[in-house]
Amino acid sequence: MENWIELLEWPAMAVTVLAAWCIGSHRPGRRMVGFCCFIASNLLWSVWGWQAEAWALIVLQVVLFLMNLRGWRKNKYSSKKAQRATATPQAN
């Protein structure tokens, strides 16, 4: 069972790179995908870290998960705020 868990290192790395790419987007929807990918990578790295007994890595992933959750929520809020602003006509 450990052999396939050791292979999680590569998908975790790939998902992390994809997430970083998406987070850099100006489009809120793409940033949301980025945050979801980061959260998935946090899970993958934690599973990999568990089998490797890399406890500091697991703690780091928990902290990063919380930061990614915060970013996801802020992006969701700012996206809704921007939608409301464009839907409401501006008074001159």
Name the nearest CA neighbour of 36 among 50, 26, 22, 49: 22
Task: Give 24-58 as a DSSP string.
Answer: T-SSHHHHHHHHHHHHHHHHHHHHHHHHHT-HHHH
Has residue 12 been placed in a domain? yes
Amino acid at 52: A
What is the tens place of the pLDDT at every residue in 21-35?
Answer: 999 999 989 999 999
Whether the pLDDT of residue 90 is over 80: the answer is no
The pLDDT score that the predictor gives to residue 86 is 77
Counted domains in the chain: 1
For residues 50 and 3, the model is more confident at 50
Show the domain range for 68.
2-87
Residue 92 lies in a domain: no
Q: What is the pLDDT of residues 38-67, one digit of tens each?
A: 999 999 999 999 999 999 999 999 999 999
